[in-house]
Chains A and B, each alone.
Chain A
Amino acid sequence: MAKKPVITAYEAAKMIPDGATIMCGGFLGCGQARAIVKELVKLGTKDLTLIANDMGRAVGPMGEEFFGIAELIHNHQVKRVIATHVGMTPEVGEQMNAGTLEVNLIPQGSMAECIRAGGAGLGGVLTPVGVDTLIEESPLCMGKQVINGKEYLLMAPIHADFALLGTYKCDEAGNCWYKGTMRNFNTVMATAADTVIAETEYLVPVGEIEPENIHTYGMCVDYIVEGERK
């Protein structure tokens, strides 16, 4: 199995230019590529579009200052976010009200499915979720359709320049295994970006993850970064 290049978090962050669209796996920082995010903060890469369930947390599980992508928001490096919930990151609301941050909220299931569609070659998603709500006016909503008498919204597929995965184990071929609730959006995001970088707590030899237990296939991963072990 061909090995994937192992790079530093700094080298990974350096690849991402100003104005890039980045998908960040993770749910309130759990399963997020937090070491790469730290380097992005240091580099000050700006005008980013972030696609993630939420915008991380201002305070980590053990009282850490910033946990995940919240720091990019606080550092004013983001121009647009596509998310499902930003209530744990009040700074998002403040920048939105100040007119410096565009926020597109979509339902969590629609977000997962739109990213899946983006990575699976589909032209969109028809979902009953969001009918009769403000989602009908979302830039990601392409209109309404009636199928067998029931209304559905047509949601656009989501694709990104980069996907940053937060994994527990990654083997040298890029196969990933997520512990606990880390999996969340990571597995779909791994399929829906031009460049996919897997940050992992443990870089392991090929074969250590049983073939039946590979959650993200190495064929989807372009680079591997060793992050912090928790």
Chain B
Amino acid sequence: MDKNEIKAFIAKRCAKELKDGDVVNLGIGLPTMIPNYLPEGVDLVIHAELGIVGAGATPKEGDANYDPYHVVDAGGNPASVAFGGGFIDSATNFGLIRGGHVDACFLGALEVDQEGNLANWIIPGKRMPGMGGAMDLCVGAKNCIVCMEHTAKGNPKIFEKCRLPLTASHCVKKIITEMCVLEVTEKGLVMTEINPEFTVDQVKAVTAAPITVAENLKSMID
């Protein structure tokens, strides 16, 4: 798989986590591809931290709702509100996030560990883009799912303990990569699904934390 195929594969698997009516926040990059793979009959309320509850499709220049100066997403790109959606101010919006009104958030990681700790906002001394809304989402969303490539150029991103400063502790419930699906449990990471292109040993070789294989290990591909 090339980069784009890997991302599409992960996004497709993430889409299976969602059910009709879920309120979902999607991080930048890969997570924004998830709505492309929703099963029929699953309609989401897309929550955007910049101030949309019920975001619509990305408008193109020339579309009636294309308004790059007044309706944008958290990346500053043109956005839209879905039919029935609404705009909201930041204080109220983050009240919704912290208050547990968002069913799921999908976000990427620099590092994630077996305790569900997540690091994705700073590499000290190198890059400090900031956490934006990520800390609030990790703490507040009912279900926090990391979706990412399993490694960074072959190096592990999944550890026993994160080394980088955390975004939030004990927040991640599930990790979805192009290799497998890992659930974060009290006993550590449990592999519940695997991409049949890989063996369990291949996954373990690029994961820096112990993995328990579920008894009924399934294929990530139906």
Contacts and interface: CB of A to CB of B under 8 A. Distances in A.
Contact of B130 (A84, A116, A188): A84
Contact of A86 (B69, B94, B117, B130): B130
Interface stretch (B134-142, B146-154, B188-196, B200-208): B134-142
Contacts of B128: 86, 93, 96, 103, 105
Contacts of A178: 87
A61 B74 CA distance: 13
Interface of chain B, helix or strand or loop or mixed? loop
B130 A113 contact: no
**Chain A: interface residue count, which band?**
35 or more
Contacts, number: 152
Interface string B74-91: 111011010000011111
B183 interface: no
Given A84-B130, A85-B131, A28 B140 contact: no
B33 interface: no
Given A84-B130, A132-B169, A133-B167, A180 B135 contact: no
Interface string A81-109: 00111111000010010000001010111
8 contacts: A28-B74, A28-B76, A86-B130, A87-B130, A105-B131, A108-B136, A133-B135, A187-B91
Interface of A: 27-31, 53-54, 57, 61-62, 83-88, 93, 96, 103, 105, 107-113, 115-116, 127-135, 168, 178-188, 215, 230
3 nearest interchain CB pairs?
Answer: A87-B129, A109-B94, A180-B71
Interface of B: 48-52, 67-72, 74-76, 78-79, 81, 87-91, 93-95, 97-98, 117, 122, 127-136, 139-140, 165-169
